[in-house]
């Protein structure tokens, strides 16, 4: 079982490791990203990577492309790098904002549950930037909470306030975009897009955008 295999590589911590196991075991985002990267060579930039769980999951599934992850949390990056160094070759995590892509990067990009931490104009600049970072054979995979009038949206807002209160995620904004705000720029630029709900067994209003660049 992949979740168990990843957890075993982290230092002992009952609460954190329980969270990792539950997250990887139940969140459909990991498999959805793997399915998009399968057959692509990499590299991948995982912006807002947290502990690097996406990178570790991809390695466990056999995806061998280089992964660069960045996150604002020094603590998560230090711990994730410790695990990567010992167990997952070709995975490198850095402290940094999603608004600062790695120098000279060209490949595929994932943004999983992180876009809402910056305001709307910054989100738009970020999405525009993503379109310059994806290689012709790469893909952008973005999971976000859609701002709408559904009960799921309000449940996600409550959960976000709770994780802030718990200290697991600190700082930044809570600025959930609408589906149109995320998708329209890609479509206007001629990208091929698919968007679908991806909330799995959670009560959250999660959507997944998969976007590939226009063919030259
Ligand atoms: C909900 S977690 C998602 C983590 C990871 N993408 C995953 O799916 O496991 C959001 C992460 O975004 C990070 N974050 C918040 N604002 C950020 C920013 N401006 N740039 C990079 N990371 C950010 C937080 O530190 C946190 O680790």
Question: Residue with structure tokens 């057959």?
Answer: 39
Over pLDDT 90: what percentage of the chain? 91
pLDDT at 215: 84
Determine contact, residues 185/124, Cβ cutoff 8 Å.
yes
Q: What is the CATH number of the domain that holds 145?
A: 3.40.50.150
Put simply, whether the predicted model's pTM sits higher than 0.85 gets the answer: yes
pLDDT at 165: 76
CB within 8 Å of 159: residues ≥ 6 apart: 203, 204
Number of domains in the chain: 1
pLDDT at 97: 96
Q: Examine the pLDDT at 170 and tell me if it is beyond 70.
A: no
> Which residues sit opposite 193 in a β-bridge?
211
Nearest CA, atom 20, ligand 1: 97
Range of the domain at 200: 2-212
Determine contact, residues 97/74, Cβ cutoff 8 Å.
no
Q: Examine the pLDDT at 132 and tell me if it is beyond 90.
A: yes
Nearest CA, atom 12, ligand 1: 48
72 lines ligand 1 (CB under 6 A): yes
Residue 39 CA to ligand 1 center (angstroms) comes to 26
What are 214's two structure tokens? 């226009």
């Amino acid at each position: 079982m992949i979740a168990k295999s990843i957890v075993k590589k982290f230092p002992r911590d009952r609460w954190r490791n329980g969270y990792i196991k539950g997250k990887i075991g139940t969140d459909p985002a990991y498999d959805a990203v793997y399915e998009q990267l399968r057959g692509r060579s990499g590299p991948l930039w995982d912006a807002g990577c947290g502990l690097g769980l996406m990178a570790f999951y991809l390695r466990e599934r056999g995806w061998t492309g280089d992964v660069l992850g960045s996150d604002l949390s020094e603590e998560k990056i230090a711990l994730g790098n410790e695990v990567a160094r010992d167990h997952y070759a070709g995975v490198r995590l850095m402290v940094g904002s999603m608004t600062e892509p790695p120098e000279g990067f060209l490949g595929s990009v994932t943004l999983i549950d992180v876009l809402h931490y910056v305001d709307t104009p910054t989100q738009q600049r970020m999405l525009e930037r993503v379109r310059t970072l994806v290689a012709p054979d790469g893909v952008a995979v973005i999971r976000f909470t859609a701002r709408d009038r559904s009960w799921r949206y309000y449940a996600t807002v409550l959960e976000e306030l709770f994780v802030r209160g718990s200290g697991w995620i600190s700082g930044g904004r809570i600025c959930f975009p609408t589906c149109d705000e995320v998708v329209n720029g890609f479509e206007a630029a001629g990208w091929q897009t698919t968007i679908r709900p991806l909330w799995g067994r959670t009560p959250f209003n999660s959507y997944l955008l998969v976007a590939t660049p226009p063919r030259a």
